[in-house]
Structure 1
Amino acid sequence: MSSQPAAANGNIKQDRVGDISIVSVAGTVDMITAPKLEAAIADAAASAPPAVVVDFTAVEFLASAGMGVLVAAHGDLAPAVKLVVVADGPATSRPLKLVGIADVLDLFATLDEALAALQR
């Protein structure tokens, strides 16, 4: 049994809204948890949905390893599957904007905004 709290382990769950895959992440995304995120994105894209949404709403810390996973996944999936990110706040959207990932991927403040944009 791990001595770390569950949130520190980068808790990841998958869901679908219509034909859009959603990967929701909570806690910390760092070099320890980034491989789990990478695997979850690949699994979510395996059914060839039109889009995969990575929801970082509950992420408390986003390290460069997590951002690297997003860039790599975008390169692997595009143009067949659109990858978008939900992030709002200093722990997630700010670093994504600072390093320029928000210039490559669509960034939304809420999951509802992301889904509305994808269903147009």
Structure 2
Amino acid sequence: MTQPNPVSCSVEERRTDEISVLAVSGTVDMLTAPKLEEAIRAAAKSSPAGIVVDLGAVEFLASAGMGVLVAAKQDLGEAVRFAVVADGPATSRPLKLVGIDEVVDLYPTLDEALTALTT
């Protein structure tokens, strides 16, 4: 019996002016959500004006990943603006179905999220 491939998730951070952009790819579930949570915490330590979590390359977003996004929004408070890029059935649809779009600002593109956070 072969072991299944481990679930993979990668998070890469880059800075656009005063905004920290976290590009997430792969699967965000209960095994990989802590990686996203730590990346958001690390980004916040650099005192950005805002943090954008770009889920454009995410293939599967589980409730654990959604929970990380809501917790990050609450933890950052008013000090750091927070937005999520989500478009399509793997990310945007589940976020909207459970009402996270009412708590966290969602944008279909990174450009739209950056514009919203810098104006």
Structure-to-structure mapping, 1:34-45, within 5 angstroms: 34-45=33-44
Q: Deviations over 1:51-101 (max 9, x none)?
A: 100000000000000000011111110111111000000100001111111
Q: Which runs of 5+ in 1 are unaligned?
A: none
| Alpha-carbon distance in structure 2 between the residues aligned to 1:115 and 1:76 | 20
Instruction: Give the ranges of 4+ consecutive aligned residues of structure 1 lying more than 4 Å apart after TM superposition.
Output: none
What TM-score results when the alignment is normalised by the length of structure 2?
0.93
| Alpha-carbon distance in structure 2 between the residues aligned to 1:16 and 1:49 | 9
| Alpha-carbon distance in structure 2 between the residues aligned to 1:74 and 1:113 | 18
Shift of 1:47: 1.4
| Alpha-carbon distance in structure 2 between the residues aligned to 1:110 and 1:26 | 15
Aligned position for 1:114: 113
| Alpha-carbon distance in structure 2 between the residues aligned to 1:83 and 1:119 | 11
Shift of 1:4: 3.0
Corresponding pairs, count: 117
| Alpha-carbon distance in structure 2 between the residues aligned to 1:36 and 1:4 | 18
Percent identical among aligned pairs is: 63
Shift of 1:116: 1.2
Aligned position for 1:67: 66
Q: Which runs of 5+ in 2 are unaligned?
A: none
| Alpha-carbon distance in structure 1 between the residues aligned to 2:46 and 2:22 | 14
What is the CA RMSD across the aligned residues, in angstroms? 1.4
Q: Deviations over 1:8-28 (max 9, x none)?
A: 411111011001001110010
| Alpha-carbon distance in structure 1 between the residues aligned to 2:5 and 2:19 | 32
Shift of 1:35: 0.3
Aligned position for 1:33: 32
| Alpha-carbon distance in structure 2 between the residues aligned to 1:113 and 1:71 | 20
| Alpha-carbon distance in structure 2 between the residues aligned to 1:91 and 1:49 | 28
Determine helix, strand or coil for the equivalent of 1:56: strand
What TM-score results when the alignment is normalised by the length of structure 1?
0.93
